[in-house]
Structure 1
Amino acid sequence: MNVAVIGAGYVGLVTAAGLADCGHRVTCIDIDHERIDALRFGKLPFYEPGLDRVVMAGLASGHLSFEEDLEMARLSRIVMIAVGTPALPGGQADLSQVFAVADELAPILAEHTVVVMKSTVPVGTTARLAERMRAAGQPSLAFASNPEFLREGQALEDFWNPDRIILGCSQDSAEQALLELYRELVPQERILLMDVSSAELTKHAANAMLATRISFMNELSLLAERVGADIEQIRRGIGSDGRIGPQFLRAGAGFGGSCFPKDLRALVEVGRAHDAPMSVIQAAWDANQRQ
């Protein structure tokens, strides 16, 4: 299948290389001239174990190519948007890159192309994108949300062997195209089909849940220290409960990085905008700020 991935950052590059490795013909497009020039020679803009080998293999086989011009997405059956959505000063997600790409793509894409949101965006963004592109004269486009769950340092393993693949589709044509795209990658039971809004919110909710566990364990660790208890023994004790499990129960320095802080703040702002306060998530954020 011909696929275009817009954005050669972390998510876009891992996705493009992974899909090419599965046998699809993938064009990865980015406006950064120097980045694209380097990628054409297999030089990556960041380190991720094994990714350089997969990119080189894709280039050698002809299944992976890198371009600067969005026109190269014209003949793709699926176009994935994987551009940055950094946090604005107030905590909201900056969607300017998403909508700029949409505006440029609208007059380019062929009829019935499936446009897939890979970027982490607030719930409702894909619907806004669809309305915008259809208003620009593309009524036949189909839209979907397919959030990523890649861990830095294990991104390829997470791509090739995911716990689940979330597909939020607005039309049957989008669902069928994405099922075909992932058919050789995972068994059908690992693909969770849902509506677009639920898929968008699932991404933020998953990161918020993990961050909340980290904040909880860090607060519990402080209490354990003050009452003479051993947080490691406590961790084993609660992690052995099948209802809880052992993941993300290690006390430490708190969460950081490029995803958790941004996504928690964005989810709190979405809740505020819809009069649904995210008080537990806000508390997890506040606890992390105290670490």
Structure 2
Amino acid sequence: MSREVGVWVVFARRIIVMGTGYVGLTTGACLASLGHRVVCCDVDVVKVERLARGEVRILEPDLPERVAEGIAAGRLEFASSAAAAAEEAEVVFLCLPTPMSTGGAADLTAVESVAGEIRGRLPAASVVVTKSTVPVGTAARLGRLLDRDDVAVASNPEFLREGSAVHDFLNPDRIVVGSDSPDAAERVAALYARLGAPTVLTDAASAEMVKYAANCFLATKLSYVNAIAELCELLGANITDVTEGMGYDRRIGQSFLEAGPGWGGSCLPKDTRALLRVAETAGFDFPLLEAAVNGNTRQREQVVSKVADACGVGVESSLSGVRLGILGLAFKAGTDDLRDSPALAVARALVDRGAELIAYDPGLRGDEPELAGIATLVDDPYRVAKEAAGLVLLTGWPEFRTLDWSRLAGMLRGPVVVDTRNHLDPDVLRRAGMSWRGIGRAPVG
């Protein structure tokens, strides 16, 4: 239920954040900016030393500034010993990896390892909070692992989007906190009171379910839009106009209505698989979510076929000997994250068909191990066009809209762009002498 939290917030709290990835570092830096005293812990000693100097290597707007401000104010510190830091904690946030294991279940190894490490060092009346996305029942499982009647466990799922994580943390749609101890739930919720966001206080299992339910709904929404986009192509409709007309309906909303090469990133793929596994364990058949996952796989295959067709080799034909220029490989603009990137998945499938890929992405350095054997990364977007049979835009970086398309047309062997994000203006490309192929829209040029 939504409710006002108590007055516990009037004091700054001593908070320990376990893990310094996207979620952990953003959580620590933003809580420090709210006036709390925060220590972020990580097993990577070199990373801890780097962060203590204010060096942030995550591509995330405003995050380096928040870290620097927290360090300068003396409210943000970094440590490599979780157990030592836990001794002074009032609240411990677990922001640890929960990757997809074999079979699709979330791997809780890191979460349980840290819980075991700090179990005997936690002060009485402290609260351990799972911020990571964890299966329903994890809070109860941690409670048994901690085996401390004087320590509460709570779930406080994050709803951060990469590329806007700091903004999302400080401007949340809602705060969700669940615990079987109402007092502990209020204490955690009070940490965010300055944000003035709607607060949902519930039991631990329901809070854990909120995150999966939200992410799986968004994945289903995206798969639905991509299916509608394919139908639009068959019927001569325009998906951009269709989704605009849908989005003004307040029951639907404008967000997550963009057709594209499929959904991905660090959350949706693993969360959909994890919820399917949870459902299976509970004896519940979930065909709707299964269809969303299968539809996402099919969408990537459809994009590859569209590229092959645009290059004139045929929908199902080999791309052996075909050189393609790739614009964007990160899973979304504004990040350098390649985890379950649909762009990278499409690129890999193109290589499997025999294509040679030259790629440019403004967020990537070129030394990412995920690129090995897939694409040669260059530092200039115009270099991807030289002697290429066509360009494939896979990530919607804003700067791609302002490229000199006449110049690119002159460098390409085949002046065609497959725009898998419907990101470019087809008329601009047509005037530059290029053909445009989008998703769910009629070809131009």
Mark yes or no: TM-score above 0.5. Answer: yes
Q: Is the 8 A contact 1:142 1:173 kept in 2?
A: no
Distance 1:219 1:200 in 2: 29
Residue aligning to 1:213:
221
**1:10-29 equivalences in 2 (<5 Å):** 10-29=22-41
Moved more, 166-175 or 32-41: 166-175
1:77 paired to 2:82: no
Contact 2:16/2:92, CA 8 A, preserved across alignment: yes
2:310 is matched with which residue? none
Alignment of 1:69-108 (within 5 A): 69-70=81-82, 71-108=84-121
1:170 aligns to what? 180
Match of 2:21 in 1: 9
Distance, in Å, in 2 between the alignment partners of 1:286 and 1:116 is 33
Corresponding letter in the other structure for 1:104: E
Highest RCO, 1 vs 2 (Cα 8 Å, sep ≥ 6): 1
Q: Tell me the equivalent position of 1:48.
A: 60
- Give, as a single letter, the amino acid of the residue that structure 2 aligns with 1:236: E
- Cα distance per residue 1:79-119 (max 9 Å; x no partner): 11111000112111110001001111111101111110101
**Quick one: which amino acid aligns to residue 203 of structure 1?**
K
Q: Distance in 2 between matches of 1:73 and 1:186?
A: 28
Aligned positions of 1:232-251 closer than 5 A:
232-251=240-259
Residue deviations 1:198-251 (CA, integer Å, cap 9, x gap):
110110111111111110010111111011111112112221222211111111
Question: Structure 2: which 5+ runs fail to align?
Answer: 1-12, 300-445
What is the CA–CA distance in structure 2 between the aligned matches of 1:164 and 1:26, rounded to whole Å? 22
Match of 2:165 among 150, 155, 162: 155
Structure 1, 154-163 or 69-78: larger mean CA deviation: 69-78
Alignment of 1:37 with 2:49, yes or no, is: yes
Q: How many angstroms apart in 2 are the aligned matches of 1:200 and 1:76? A: 23
Listed one character per residue, the Cα deviations across residues 161-196 of structure 1 (whole Å, up to 9, x for unaligned) are 000010112213312311321111224xx1111111
**Amino acid across the alignment from 1:263:** D
> 122, 128, 145: which is aligned to 1:115?
128
Shift of 1:257: 1.0
Give the RMSD, CA atoms, in angstroms: 0.9
Relative to total residues, which structure has the larger helix share, 1 or 2?
Answer: 1
Question: What percent identity do the matched residue pairs reach?
Answer: 44
1:140 corresponds to which of 144, 150, 175: 150
Contact map agreement 1:267 1:278 (CA 8 A) in 2: no
Q: Is 1:261 matched up with 2:269?
A: yes
Q: Does 1:58 align with 2:70?
A: yes
Q: Which has the larger radius of gyration?
A: 2
Q: Report the 3-state secondary structure (helix = DSSP H, G, I; strand = E; otherwise coil) of the residue aligned with 2:249.
A: coil
Matches within 5 A, 1:271-282: 271-282=279-290
Secondary structure of the corresponding residue to residue 267 of structure 1: helix
1:45 Cα offset (Å): 3.2
Amino acid at match of 2:178: G
Contact 1:81-1:98 within 8 A present in 2 as well:
yes
**What CA distance in whole angstroms lies between the structure 1 residues aligned with 2:182 and 2:203?**
11
Which residue number in structure 2 is paired with residue 195 of structure 1? 203
Contact 1:27/1:73 (<8 A) preserved:
no
**How far 1:144 moved relative to its partner?**
0.6
Q: How far apart, in 2, do the equivalents of 1:112 and 1:35 lie?
A: 31
**Structure 1 residue matching 2:284: 3-state secondary structure:** coil
Structure 1 segments of 4 or more deviating over 2 A?
A: none
Out of 240-249 and 86-95, give the one that drifted further: 240-249
The alpha-carbon deviation at position 277 of structure 1 amounts to 1.8
Please tell me the residue identity of whatever aligns with 2:142.
L
CA distance in 2, matches of 1:247, 1:50: 23
What TM-score comes out, normalization by structure 1 length? 0.96
| Distance in structure 2 (CA, Å) of the matches to 1:199 and 1:277 | 22
Counterpart amino acid of residue 262 in structure 2: G
Aligned positions, number: 286
Please tell me the residue identity of whatever aligns with 1:16: G
List alignment gaps of at least 5 residues for structure 1: none
Deviation at 1:11, TM superposition (A): 0.5
